[in-house]
Structure 1
Amino acid sequence: MDSKKGIIFTGALVGIIAVLLVKLGNPKNMGFCIACFIRDISGGLGFHRAAVVQYLRPEVMGLVLGSFAVASLKKEFNVKGGSSPFIRFTLGVTVMIGALMFLGCPLRMVLRLAGGDLNAIVGIAGFTFGIILGIASLNKGFSLKRNYKLPKSEGYIFPVMNIFLVVLLILAPSFIFFSEKGPGSMHAPALIALACGLIVGILSQRTRLCMVGGIRDLILFKDTYLISGFIAILVFTLIGNLSLGYFNMGFEAQPVAHSDGLWNFLGMVLCGWSSVLLGGCPMRQLILSGEGNTDSVITVIGMFVGAAICHNFALAASPKGPSPNGKIAVIACLLVVGLISYLNSDMANLKSKGKGVA
């Protein structure tokens, strides 16, 4: 699966599955969206009380468990962590704040474009600019330092938690929240969605599918391996949307989207920049979590908390547009990410050493 054909096949299948999940009940242009689905799970567990976005999305659990299963089978389950955990948690929060300003993760950005949502072009421009900022940070020596080998038991905890979430979804106890209207109430049958997540998790683990990595590698090395997977997602989702009559080109009246170009752009700048510093997009973080990378687990937990913050403090955008609180939060987070970039760069380290010598 390391060949170009392998990642194109993966992208094609992800695109087909995304359209299938919409056909079976997921919101339009949201066959898969890591940010939106984590937000829904956060609400389902009661971390926020936005009644229209509460549901334990089994696609997320499937991604983690699919990655865990194939990594274990291929002897690639490698438990490690301890690389700047609180910074990773913070960047997980900023990724989510940026994504929920745009109303979608990098994967949904591509799915939105394939559905005719031209706001996604603005999002892609912002995302690419954010990645360029991240590359500039890397070129200045940005690093979150090394990680360390950990006991295997440490790596099993997150997959077990995801199994527990599946059980909660099936049993539906009274303390779990389920939306009765809005995007959270729209979902494919649970077992089918779980199976789709497992398939995508397995294929993504084998191919290292990552939107951030795709654009980063294209800019830095002219390497088209990773980006070809997302081009395949775009093409096959577009074909599926055209076939089923879901394609609707324009900026206005797009499903679960707004048309404020400036804040779509800035939201994805924040998401892209934060993701480069983390070493991968939100979906890639879930896949790495299944492989035993506890640094990625910390990042995913940061995204869960970020989703709760967005809805508890009115930071998330809505189809009506961005909120005043959300605008302030995105600007503040861009400053925070800039500060993190600087303080973890060679320049800051050299100044610190110089002061120590003096």
Structure 2
Amino acid sequence: MDLKKEKITIVIAGLIIGVIAAALVFFGNPVNMGFCIACFLRDTAGALGLHRAGAVQYIRPEIIGLVLGSFAMALAKKEFSARGGSAPLTRFVLGFCVMIGCLMFLGCPFRMILRLAGGDLNALLGLAGFVAGILVGVVFLNRGYSLGRTFRQPVLEGAAFPAVQVAMLVLLVAAPAFIFFSEAGAGPGALHAPILISLIAGLVVGALAQRTRLCMVGGIRDMALFRESKLLLGFVAIFASALVCNLILSAVTGQAYFTLGFEGQPVAHTDGLWNFLGMLLAGFGCVLLGGCPLRQLVLAGEGNSDSAVAVLGLIAGAAFAHNFGLASSGTGTTFAGRVAVIIGIAVVAVIACVNTFRKNA
């Protein structure tokens, strides 16, 4: 496939994903949260009892669908490959730190775009921080940063994470007593589209993201390193189609799918400095991981056990953030959360330095 066709394919995929994200809100997901990898992993962690914040507990079918959609597309394209062994513990720590940054901002890079498409101007500060974090990471990439090579592993190792998602689907449908679900009206965890719609949406997005290698971190990174806009075009398309859909839904239904401004935005706060720093941490960490949270899920579906470990780090970070009062809320940030973000930036910087300059010594 030549570059022009690749760009067209990515733009079409982005347009479809943006429509899906807006449709999920129409069918019941929280406003400006048709898709949010950080939020959905946090909700799933709560459903498993890893944290007890009652407002955010639900096994999100979109996550299950993303992994299984990527898995199915990788199999169909003969791209499934069980690989791993590239500094898994470091990747776990990076995933943990990325989640701390995301929950300071209240969203992953995907939701950042959807918040902008819903008129939330607070996300502009998040976007600025995200770009800054990626550019800091690019400095280390230019100097030789690497977590080492991956190695071929047994097929069962690569298939383990998709298999876990099948088990999660069973738990979601069966809803045994040991799984926690937010009560109606309790918060974002209680707002969700029907299971089948969410699952199908996840499958489609997972397949499209696997096919196009969609990654916002990769898009900004590639623009900085190679002046290549291919991946970035996908997220521009997501923003455009989600924005148009939100405007149409607002006009047709009379409900606030699009509200321009800083104040009163759903599941968001107005602390600009910490929106910036939270996403700076997320962007910096994601560059060192080699992709955004969406990309990590897609790679895990392709058989990459290192990405699966990074996702486990994201889940652990979400649980830790809610158990220890680090996560922000619509009322603002917490002191503990602000301290955690500063520590997270320092930890990620140490990882970057150790895996760059040690090699050059």
Provide the TM-score with structure 1 as the length reference: 0.97
Q: Which amino acid aligns with 1:231?
A: V
Runs of 4+ aligned structure 1 residues displaced above 6 Å come to: none
Where 2:28 maps in the other structure, the secondary structure is: coil
Q: Which residue of the partner structure matches residue 292 of structure 1?
A: 303
Where 1:155 maps in the other structure, the secondary structure is: helix
Where 1:302 maps in the other structure, the secondary structure is: helix
Q: Which residue of the partner structure matches residue 348 of structure 1?
A: 358
In 2, the alpha carbon distance for the partners of 1:280 and 1:12 equals 21
Q: Which residue of the partner structure matches residue 253 of structure 2?
A: none
The alignment covers a number of residue pairs equal to 350
Q: Which residue of the partner structure matches residue 214 of structure 1?
A: 219
Q: Does 1:329 align with 2:340?
A: yes
Runs of 5+ in structure 1 lacking a partner?
A: 352-358
How far has the Cα of 1:219 moved from its partner?
1.3
How far has the Cα of 1:259 moved from its partner?
0.5
In 2, the alpha carbon distance for the partners of 1:166 and 1:278 equals 27
Q: Which amino acid aligns with 2:206?
A: G
Match of 1:154 among 153, 157, 163: 157
In 1, the alpha carbon distance for the partners of 2:170 and 2:26 equals 25
Q: Which residue of the partner structure matches residue 187 of structure 1?
A: 192
How far has the Cα of 1:139 moved from its partner?
1.4
Matches within 5 A, 1:1-358: 3-180=6-183, 181-245=186-250, 246-345=257-356, 347-351=357-361
- For the aligned residues, what is the CA RMSD? 0.8
In 2, the alpha carbon distance for the partners of 1:268 and 1:187 equals 25
Q: Which amino acid aligns with 2:272?
A: G
Q: Which residue of the partner structure matches residue 355 of structure 1?
A: none
In 1, the alpha carbon distance for the partners of 2:23 and 2:302 equals 27
How far has the Cα of 1:34 moved from its partner?
0.1
In 2, the alpha carbon distance for the partners of 1:81 and 1:65 equals 19
Where 2:198 maps in the other structure, the secondary structure is: helix
How far has the Cα of 1:225 moved from its partner?
0.4
Runs of 5+ in structure 2 lacking a partner?
A: 251-256
In 1, the alpha carbon distance for the partners of 2:360 and 2:225 equals 25
In 2, the alpha carbon distance for the partners of 1:88 and 1:331 equals 19
In 2, the alpha carbon distance for the partners of 1:203 and 1:85 equals 26
Provide the TM-score with structure 2 as the length reference: 0.96
Percent identity, please. Answer: 58
Q: Which residue of the partner structure matches residue 354 of structure 1?
A: none
Q: Deviations over 1:164-219 (max 9, x none)?
A: 00011001101000001100000000011000000000010000000000111111
In 2, the alpha carbon distance for the partners of 1:170 and 1:118 equals 37
Q: Which amino acid aligns with 2:58?
A: Y
Q: Which amino acid aligns with 2:289?
A: L
How far has the Cα of 1:343 moved from its partner?
0.6
How far has the Cα of 1:349 moved from its partner?
3.3
How far has the Cα of 1:61 moved from its partner?
0.4
Q: Which amino acid aligns with 1:325?
A: A
Q: Which amino acid aligns with 1:102?
A: F
In 2, the alpha carbon distance for the partners of 1:45 and 1:107 equals 24
Q: Deviations over 1:117-168 (max 9, x none)?
A: 0011100000000000100111121110111100101111111100000011
